[in-house]
Amino acid sequence: MSESFEQLNKYQVDSLHETSEAATPEALDAVHLKYLGRKEGLLTQLLQTLPSLPPDQRKELGRKANEAKRALESALAEKKQSLESARLTKTLSETAEDLTLPGTPLVRGGLHPLTKVEEDIVAVFQRLGFNVAEGPEVETDDNNFTALNHPPDHPARDSHDTFYLKSHKDAAGAPLLLRTHTSPVQIRYMKTHKPPLYIVAPGRVFRHEAVDATHSFVFHQVEGLAVDEGISLADLKGALTLFAREMFGGSAEVRFRPSYFPFVEPGIEVDISCAFCSGKGCRVCKNTGWVEMLGAGLVHPNVLRGVGLDPGKFSGYAFGIGVERVAMFKYGVDDMRLFYENDVRFLRQFR
Ligand code: FA5
């Protein structure tokens, strides 16, 4: 037998042996390259010598070499499949999940308690048919004070320590300010809508005040305004009693005390019977049985006239609820600052 036939036999035996010994798909690729590589492959090169052989040997060697090539190709393919499935089985067994173990709990976010209380307050009035209105946090002096019956130099302006934006002025040249209450939304709404008006306006307000357990320099209010024919204090009391019962429980009562706000007449402060002691007296209500919750009153005729409404025909009530105050009372929290620190251990309790 010629040298080429011996070589072919050797390649055949060696290549099949190396294939069966290969332990990884990469090692198999190396065997493929060694014998069947396009240029350097040993079998490939052997086949390239065919034309130089005598014709009788050429045919025989060609047939055998092609057989050897096919046999090697199918051995490689078979081995490749078995290596890949072994690798897959290994990976799966190493990373297998124990489906009987309890899952990792998903950390669920939640609304901030102040957002929740604000939404709850608004929802009570929406159920009574009130619409939701909004106004900007940067306001004109006119909407925040003058149109609310605080003429310039009126002493009541001093009760709101105001943040002025000195470099930003309104059309009349007065500096803009950060609204000190949500009451300017009343003005904006009355200027753009005709009675009957029933709105609540939630939002942030700003006062240059020292921070303590019951005061912040940024806090939240929900303004209420109803303007219609024949509105009286009895309507205000009815709406606020319903609000108190929805927020704090079925037996809550409201109490009116005279107070002063330039944009209402009469002005009243509204107390709600203490939900913690049912009015008997406790630490939360400082043993009075009542907790002060909001300011309110009947819309002052000057305010109605200022927005073009006839006080002889229309009357209205307005109120401004402190959201932090309601949240503190509802959840028995005795320091407002806890709501702003955003310690998740505190916030988690309200989910
Ligand atoms: C007003 O702001 C009036 N605009 C309310 C009003 C509206 C009266 C409509 C009449 C008609 P007052 O300054 O009292 O009023 O604030 C209302 C509520 O906001 C207070 O009852 C209190 O709950 C809350 N509040 C006031 N100051 C602070 C503060 N510094 N930090 C947190 N809450 C405050």
Sign of the torsion angle spanned by Cα atoms 64, 70, 72, 74: negative
Instruction: Assess whether the C-beta atom of 144 lies below 6 angstroms from ligand 1.
Output: no
pTM, two decimals, is: 0.73
**What is the spatial order of strands in the sheet that 264-273 belongs to?**
131-132, 197-206, 218-228, 315-322, 290-299, 264-273, 254-259
Ligand 1 centroid to residue 257 C-alpha, Å: 15
Q: Rounded CA gap, 91 and 311, in Å?
A: 82
The pLDDT assigned to 32 comes to: 92
DSSP H or E segment with residue 200: strand 197-206
Instruction: Assess whether the C-beta atom of 297 lies below 6 angstroms from ligand 1.
Output: yes
Ligand 1 centroid to residue 15 C-alpha, Å: 91
The pLDDT assigned to 40 comes to: 86
- Please report the atom of ligand 1 found closest to the CA of residue 317: 11
The residue count of the chain comes to 351
Q: Rounded CA gap, 115 and 203, in Å?
A: 10
- Please report the atom of ligand 1 found closest to the CA of residue 326: 23
Instruction: Assess whether the C-beta atom of 295 lies below 6 angstroms from ligand 1.
Output: yes
Sorted by sequence, the CB contacts under 8 Å of residue 46 that are 6+ apart come out as 4, 7, 8, 11, 61, 65
Instruction: Assess whether the C-beta atom of 294 lies below 6 angstroms from ligand 1.
Output: yes
Instruction: Assess whether the C-beta atom of 183 lies below 6 angstroms from ligand 1.
Output: yes
The pLDDT assigned to 249 comes to: 83
Tens-binned pLDDT, residue by residue, of the chain (351 aa): 578 888 889 888 888 898 999 888 889 999 999 998 888 888 888 888 888 888 888 888 888 888 888 988 998 999 999 888 988 888 888 888 788 888 888 888 889 999 999 999 999 999 999 999 999 999 999 999 999 999 888 877 776 789 999 889 988 888 999 999 999 999 999 999 999 999 999 999 999 989 988 889 999 999 999 999 999 999 999 999 999 999 988 888 889 999 999 999 999 999 988 877 887 888 778 889 898 889 999 999 999 999 999 999 999 999 999 999 999 988 989 889 999 999 999 999 987
Query: Helices (H) and strands (E) in the chain — how many of each?
Result: 12, 10
Sorted by sequence, the CB contacts under 8 Å of residue 224 that are 6+ apart come out as 125, 130, 199, 200, 201, 239, 296, 317, 318, 319, 320, 321
The pLDDT assigned to 224 comes to: 98
Tell me the best of 261, 299, 335 to mutate to test the pocket of ligand 1, counting ligand atoms within 8 Å of each CB and taking the most: 261
Q: Which tokens is 305 given?
A: 């006239």
Ligand 1 centroid to residue 94 C-alpha, Å: 64
Q: Rounded CA gap, 324 and 118, in Å?
A: 9
Instruction: Assess whether the C-beta atom of 271 lies below 6 angstroms from ligand 1.
Output: no
- Please report the atom of ligand 1 found closest to the CA of residue 323: 23
Tell me the best of 219, 260, 338 to mutate to test the pocket of ligand 1, counting ligand atoms within 8 Å of each CB and taking the most: 219
Ligand 1, atom 2: nearest CA belongs to which residue? 181
DSSP 163: -
Closest CA to 181 of 212, 151, 150: 150
Instruction: Assess whether the C-beta atom of 186 lies below 6 angstroms from ligand 1.
Output: no
